[in-house]
Every structure is written in structure tokens, then in C-alpha cells.
Amino acid sequence: MITVNNVTKSYGTNVLFENVNVNFNPGSRFGLTGPNGAGKSTFMRILTGDSDPTNDGVISRPRKVGILRQDQFAFDEMRIIDTVIFGNKILWDALQERDKLCEKSEHSDAEIARLTDLETVIADENGYMAEFEAGQILSGIGIPEDQHYELMSTLQSDYKFRVLLAQALFGEPDALLLDEPTNHLDLDTISWLEEFLNNYQGTLVVISHDRHFLNAVCTHIADIDYQTIITYPGNYDDMVAQKVQARQQIESGNRDRAKKIAQLQEFIARFGAGQRASQVQSRKKEIQRLALTELKKSNIQRPFIRFEQDKPAGKETVQIRGLSKAFGDKVIFKDFDLEIMRGEKIAIIGANGAGKTTLIRCIVGELEPDSGSIQWGFGAEGEWNYYPQDHGHLIKPGMSALDWLMQFEKGEGQQHVRGLLGRMLFSGDDALKPTEGLSGGECARLLLARMMLVKKPILVMDEPTNHLDLESVSALAEGLTAFPGNVFIVSHDRDLVSQVATRILAYTPNGLVDFKGPYEEYLQSLNQPAERKSKAKR
């Protein structure tokens, strides 16, 4: 169990949460939710011990806690398998001390006794199966077995993150504290993680912007709002329903009380100076009893995302013939054909490193294919809004958010741009924030605002949900679904893909597959006999 007693965290006058008391019980899986800036990661760092409360609040933790660390370069000189085993510090220290003692040719009686004690610790921690268990977890998160004994420095950053996730999961910890564990994971690996966590018997606290993941894993939600943390039974959707219902009940009760108070005040005004003093006093006491329940302001803010097009493209958006791309011996796609009609929304899915971003970059002309042709239809050539996965270079420092967005304004004026920024949660002075000081979520919303301002008939997006909170992801899905033009989107967010896509391009072991149907039908097709997969075109 993790116990939080009377914990407050504030930065100057900005109070994130105050006098929080909550128990995270064994066998329960808690999703820690709240909008960007609410304090989720701050609270997680307090749980891990990496940050202290502002007050004298107390955190109680179990003996073994698995923590998803974010420093991807801390273990570069260690083998991948050893990095995972390091997650059980008790076992790791015992193994290191035992190996050091075993290097000696002779041992004193005290050293022999110590070796005996260490072997007991290793046995208690299941150390003789450590490499097998670590290998199973590594394989589950997509690290091939032939790489397990290589150095961490040989891995790309996203795969280093996976190893750090394996490190947190290793060794049957009493509690797991995971901050955005689905980052850098493909859909298959997220499914593996869901199954692992659903079988986990300890205490889980997890932050994620993946709604599908929270719904699949969580038995409870700990929601940061109203400057406190409120726990709800059930998954994320259950929490949203309960939260809305509770607030509606309070608002309804306040309306009824306000109506009654108005009637009592009218009576007091009429008879306050007359001979019915006792009745007047009685009604004054009644007004005090009917005091309205104070409703603190929620910190949840939802952007309003709607994409428009100045003019639609022609009936056929793009025709791709014989497209091929390889890097050395690695074939990304070969002799690939594709025809996209106006209004189709294409989700590109597959394992990390399969080539999703490469395909997107070829489609928008940022990368030259090895062979083949891309022929855009009438009104489509160059008429796309592109949201790249690596977009840090797009927002230049040294200007305000408003000034940056005004560069793309086409005669509608500053007031229109300010209104658009307000819809994307840059209201008032927030529109004047310096671009170099924007958070990841603010940068993402500013880029989406640019796409709303520049009204192109084709939207091309590579992992747009990175840095967005759950409310923003939901708003993005609604905006893309309502958009009448074409969408090409790379995403590992299954709810977004399910809601938006009308067609799937999937990287599979058999190559790039074009499935002419939505994501749920694609998943069903994977379990059907080959002759029934008529919608899939290799």
C-alpha cells in the first residue's frame, strides 16, 4: 500500500493540490488523471520520493517499488539484460556483492557467512530466474532476444525507454509507479503491457494520455482537480460520468436552494418592519441553513478543435504507383500502390521503426522514394497541413504565441487569431506567452491552431497526441472526425484511430497492408481465415 497523508504542493501562490489524503491499496490499479499543468507528474515525483511536498505531509511506501525512470542515457554502459535486473535493487546489490566475493581465491569465515546470507537473499528474490524473467519482459516489449546482452548504448532512444519500462516491471515489485508508460510503444506492445498490468497483484499508479489504456487497465481513478485529489471507482470513462453527475447534482441543488432563498428574502423584505418579527427571524435562520454549496472552479479545460478547408480538393486526392523505399537492406515498402479519394481518413499503424514516418514524409515530398510515383489530384498538390512528429524547430523562439500565429493569418485580422487562440486555451494574456517558454502541450495546441487557421483540404499528422492531455485528445478526435477533407494520421492512440480512420495502412510481417475499412474491422480481420480477408490489399 502507498499512503499519502496531508500532502500539499504549491509554487508560490499557485496551489496544485492541498492537504491530500489518499490510500493506494494493493490489488488496485489507479490512473492518475488531470489536465496538463494540474500536477500529475509532480504528484508522481512525490510518490517516488524524487520531490518533497511543500508542507510536512507524509508518504508511506512499500519495500519494493518499481519506478519508470526517464533518464534514457543513465545505463548506456550496462548490458540491456543487466539494466532490467537493476530494477530490483535488493537483488542487484546482492548479486554484485556475491560476484565480487567469489572472485577472491580465499575467504575468511566472515566472508563465507556473508556469502551464505547473500545466497539466501538471491533465492528469496528469485535471483536464479532473474535473467529468464528479464528476458521474457524484454521480449514482451519488443526487444529481440539476440539483443538482450548488448549494451544499452546500441539502442535508439525509444527502445531505451522500453528497457527502462522493463526495469520498472521486473522483480515483482510491491508497487508500480509509471509516468506515461505507453510513450514510444506501438499498438501491439501496448496490448502486451495491458495484459501484464491486468495480471499484476500489487499497487499500480499510472499516468497516461491514452484513454483506451486507462479504460483497459484501471480499477480506480485518482483525479487531480479542485486543488485536491479525488478517487473514483472504475475506469476513466466511469470517472468522467461520476464527476459530471456529482457536479450536476450540486448545481441542481444550488438552483433549488437559490429559488427557496429568494422566496424567503421576499418574505423578509415585505414583513421585516411589521408585527411578524418571529416569522421573519425564523426565515433568516432558514436562509442560513440553505447556504449554497461552494463549487470550486475545475482546472479541466477543453479546447475546441474544428478544421476547415477554403476549398475542397478534387474527387481523387492522390494516386501512388509502385512506391518503394529502403535504407540499406531494410525495406520500408516495395512496389506499393494506393489510391485515395476525397474525404477518406487514413490511419498508418505498425511497430516502432517499421517506417510509418518514412511513408508520411514521402507522401508530403519531404523524402524522396527510391522508385515509384505520387500523383496528386486536382486542388490537392501542396494543399496539405503537415504536423510532423519532430516539430520543435517549427516554433521559433523570441516571439509571443500570438505573433507566431499571426505569421499565417490571411487577412482576417488579429481579433480572429486571438479568438482562435482562446479556443485552444490561450485566453487573455496567455496569448502573449513567449514561444521559448511554452510547454509541450502548449506547443502542440499552438501547432493545431495553425492548422485550423490555414484551411487546407488535407491534414497530415505524425503522432499529434504526444504532449496532449486526455481532454485535448478527445477534442482532436472530434475535430478530425468532423473534417470534410482528407486525413493521414500516424498514431498509437487506439481511441483516436478507431474514431477517425475510415481506412488503415498497417505495417505487418508480410509488408504494408491497405485495409479498406475502419480499425475495428481491421482487428476483426486479423482473426479471420485468409480467404475472408478480401478487404486487405497487399
200-241 pLDDT per residue, tens: 999 999 999 899 999 999 999 999 988 889 999 999 999 988
Which of helix, strand or coil describes residue 318?
strand
* Maximal C-alpha separation, the chain: 106
Whether residue 99 is found in the same domain as residue 180: yes
Q: Is-above-0.85 flag for pTM?
A: no
pLDDT at 270 over 90: no
CA distance 204 to 160: 22
Q: How far is CA 127 from CA 88, 98, 476, in A?
A: 10, 12, 47
**Residue 443 placed within a domain:** no
Which of helix, strand or coil describes residue 18?
strand
CA distance 167 to 178: 11
Q: 30 - beta bridge partners?
A: 205, 220
CA distance 531 to 508: 17
- Count CB atoms within 10 A of the CB of residue 244: 10
Whether residue 244 is found in the same domain as residue 357: no
- Which ranges constitute the DSSP H helices of 61-88? 80-85
pLDDT at 476 over 80: yes
The pLDDT value recorded for residue 538 is: 42
The pLDDT value recorded for residue 528 is: 60
The pLDDT value recorded for residue 511 is: 87
The pLDDT value recorded for residue 296 is: 62
- Count CB atoms within 10 A of the CB of residue 135: 18
CA distance 213 to 494: 9
State the residue for C-alpha cell 483497459.
216
Q: How far is CA 231 from CA 2, 301, 434, in A?
A: 14, 20, 36
pLDDT at 4 over 90: yes
User: Which residues form the domain of 389?
Assistant: 316-393+455-537
**Residue 89 placed within a domain:** yes
Whether residue 13 is found in the same domain as residue 114: yes
Q: Which of 254, 289, 324 is the endpoint of a domain?
A: 289
Could you tell me which of 525, 526, 479, 515 has the C-alpha nearest to residue 500? 479
**Residue 91 placed within a domain:** yes
Whether residue 262 is found in the same domain as residue 344: no
The pLDDT value recorded for residue 533 is: 44
Going by pLDDT thresholds of 50, 70 and 90, the confidence category of residue 34 is confident
Whether residue 83 is found in the same domain as residue 207: yes
Whether residue 202 is found in the same domain as residue 217: yes
Domain count of the fold of the chain: 3
pLDDT at 535 over 70: no
Could you tell me which of 29, 403, 380, 3 has the C-alpha nearest to residue 181? 29
pLDDT in tens, 285-311: 888 777 766 656 566 678 999 999 998
The pLDDT value recorded for residue 341 is: 95
Whether residue 495 is found in the same domain as residue 373: yes
Whether residue 219 is found in the same domain as residue 271: no
Joined together, the cell numbers standing for residue 298 give 475545475
**Residue 334 placed within a domain:** yes
Whether residue 107 is found in the same domain as residue 234: yes
Could you tell me which of 513, 483, 521 has the C-alpha nearest to residue 500? 483
Phi, psi of 334 (to 5 degrees): -140, 125
CA distance 459 to 489: 8
The pLDDT value recorded for residue 267 is: 81
For residue 457, the 8-state DSSP code is S
Please report, for the domain that includes residue 325, its CATH number. Answer: 3.40.50.300
- Which ranges constitute the DSSP H helices of 290-335? none
Going by pLDDT thresholds of 50, 70 and 90, the confidence category of residue 22 is very high
**Residue 448 placed within a domain:** no
Q: Which of 173, 208, 238 is the endpoint of a domain?
A: 238
238-241: list long-range contacts, CB under 8 Å, 24+ apart.
Answer: 239/31, 239/33
Average pLDDT over residues 126-146: 94
What average pLDDT is seen over the chain? Answer: 89
Average pLDDT over residues 470-488: 94
**Residue 140 placed within a domain:** yes
pLDDT at 384 over 70: yes
Whether residue 282 is found in the same domain as residue 168: no
Average pLDDT over residues 174-188: 91
Q: Which residue has the higher pLDDT, 271 or 309?
A: 309
pLDDT at 11 over 50: yes
pLDDT in tens, 68-88: 998 888 999 999 999 999 999
**Residue 408 placed within a domain:** no
pLDDT in tens, 43-52: 999 999 999 9
Q: Which of 238, 258, 276 is the endpoint of a domain?
A: 238
pLDDT at 353 over 90: no
The pLDDT value recorded for residue 531 is: 42
pLDDT in tens, 330-340: 999 999 999 99
Whether residue 228 is found in the same domain as residue 258: no
**Residue 83 placed within a domain:** yes
CA distance 207 to 323: 40
Phi, psi of 296 (to 5 degrees): -65, 150
**Angle CA 376–381–386, to nearest 5:** 110
Whether residue 219 is found in the same domain as residue 273: no
